[in-house]
Structure 1
């Protein structure tokens, strides 16, 4: 059983894609400049903007967050949880999850459309946003042994009758808590949706104007961001 201890997350790094887009924009601008030198003023701006597809996966936003989660189990199993809670307290464990979430758009996707509106104006219809989760660390920061209530058995006997978490307990609870961490990431993705789109809009406007577009309109799909990949540090320890 997993319980959320702290519903708030704190962000320590955001909008990493903007710096990347600046570098990409510079590269594409240089390519376009060479093309203009060779082809002269007849170079078609629309064709140049279509080169945005060559970028492929465009990272527009990245966030590092930490979440605090508690997991509890009982050394007597489900039976003990249900009938013996009044005798023996549950074993409790609190963990800190540290994970990255990166958002990107695949500009090679067929749903990415460049629409020429005339007079140097373009509408960019973006594909569905996808995000990857990378769980960097799961830290046990507090662990309590099972405790018999003092009024029933003296504290001196707790070491004998109050077993702590063994390795199997830890791994099972880690797997359960990992699933909870993915759910927490999903909630955070929902909250960050507007920020992700703002970053993507700024990035695409910058890139498109590098091809001499005078006006750029960026449209986004109504669909929520879609989870693409999940990776774990020490993945062998987290396999189910």
Structure 2
């Protein structure tokens, strides 16, 4: 009797194991659907910052990018006062993953093609300082005794705004050159970041399609210390 019961129990366990295996096999497509649903959640990330450039430039003479006002008055400060200007700005490279141009297409079992929207750029002038070569010291942006030489001793709010605009014009030219020269590095960083996130979702094969175009304009923001 015990042998019969043991035999019945063994048979029931075997049948249960087969049933569980078949059930799991039938659920395989559902697992793929779960993975696709998970990778779709990339869109919930929103703005994805993938690359940042911080650059410092030592300006000892101005060029046309500073505009007429910058050339006229900055040239006097740099040459007449024997100053050097430390110009610092940063560029943040971002992708908007909530853009309708961000698409995820399933190309096979756990394989996907991700079409990226155009990269967005945020350029921010962090600081502008002057270096006194004779005194071997740094001076803050538009220090009082420095600006006395502008416009015959007076330097109005309008004058300051014109000079800030000249700085923004220079930053725009420099930023556009950088943006267009390092697009491949930015895309490489985006692939690495999104690839790592996707593998966490269980994706084994993911490819990217980037929309690459030459940047022709970019907005420039300035820090509070410069704007105020």
For 1:214, the equivalent position in structure 2 comes to 204
TM-score, with length taken from structure 2: 0.63
Determine the C-alpha separation between the residues in 1 that align with 2:215 and 2:93. Answer: 8
Structure 1, unmatched stretches of 5+, are 1-39, 82-89, 145-162
Determine the C-alpha separation between the residues in 1 that align with 2:88 and 2:226. Answer: 17
1:135 paired with 2:120, answer no
Higher helix share: 2
1:167 paired with 2:158, answer no
Determine the C-alpha separation between the residues in 2 that align with 1:170 and 1:189. Answer: 28
Change (3 A) 1:47 1:234: same
Q: Based on CA coordinates, which of the two structures has the bigger radius of gyration?
A: 2
For 1:91, the equivalent position in structure 2 comes to 76
1:105 paired with 2:92, answer no
How far off is 1:142 after superposition? 4.5
For 2:20, the equivalent position in structure 1 comes to none
Structure 2, unmatched stretches of 5+, are 1-26, 79-83, 135-147
How far off is 1:235 after superposition? 6.6
Determine the C-alpha separation between the residues in 1 that align with 2:133 and 2:185. Answer: 37
Give the aligned length.
167
- Secondary structure, in 3 states, of the residue corresponding to 2:128? strand
- Secondary structure, in 3 states, of the residue corresponding to 2:174? helix
For 2:58, the equivalent position in structure 1 comes to 68
For 1:196, the equivalent position in structure 2 comes to 186
TM-score, with length taken from structure 1: 0.60
The Cα RMSD (Å) is 3.0
